[in-house]
Structure 1
């Protein structure tokens, strides 16, 4: 079963800058894109450095794909799928995100949020 967890007001997210949030006991990086207004949520943990830094990454795009580049070693990740564009064997976990009544919500497994 899944549930939506309210995280923050949309206006609290600065466009094209990341913010970290604790969701269901997991650190997540949130991004609000300035060109589309979309909100994306991915792992905050950089799989290459094993540091929680992805919210500090550089937001951009590669061939029309919205990306975040790790601030540690600069690998770029597709914000929609989590796949690393520089090493397809590596990816970030992605959480569905939506905006409801001005609030950012992240879809979580109801079992993890019940703990």
Structure 2
């Protein structure tokens, strides 16, 4: 296990099977809504960003459409369709409205988020 994985406070949120591939779910992690995504393009990965969309003032990012924007894996907000980079939380159209990104991993089928 890497130093990052040992030093962070990791919280289990669900199993990987609880998230339909290429969609997201919302989890409450230490009082904050976190959008957790299972991206499977031949290699299953998980990402976690804040669920609150500052453009629409609604907690909806977990319900967005997962896709790509060039080389970036993104979610399009279901309200105004702004794209958020799943690795960094950056809002591509309005960087001043970016969200937090959280380290995420899968271990023994369980999804973990670093809080």
Q: TM-score, normalised by structure 1?
A: 0.90
Residue number among 79, 92, 111 corresponding to 1:104 in the alignment: 111
Distance 1:71 1:98 in 2: 25
User: Unaligned stretches of 5+ in structure 2?
Assistant: 1-6
Map of 2:93 onto structure 1:
86
Distance 1:56 1:91 in 2: 17
The answer to whether structure 1 residue 54 and structure 2 residue 61 are counterparts is yes
Q: TM-score, normalised by structure 2?
A: 0.90
By how many angstroms is 1:91 displaced?
0.6
Map of 1:111 onto structure 2:
none
Map of 1:44 onto structure 2:
51
- After superposing on structure 2, the runs of 4+ consecutive aligned residues of structure 1 that deviate more than 2 Å are none
User: Unaligned stretches of 5+ in structure 1?
Assistant: 109-115
Total equivalences in the alignment: 108
Distance 1:53 1:107 in 2: 21
By how many angstroms is 1:15 displaced?
0.7
By how many angstroms is 1:82 displaced?
0.5
RMSD: 1.0
After superposition, give the CA deviation of every residue in 1:59-92 in whole Å (9 maximum; x if it has no partner).
Answer: 0001120000010100001000000111122211
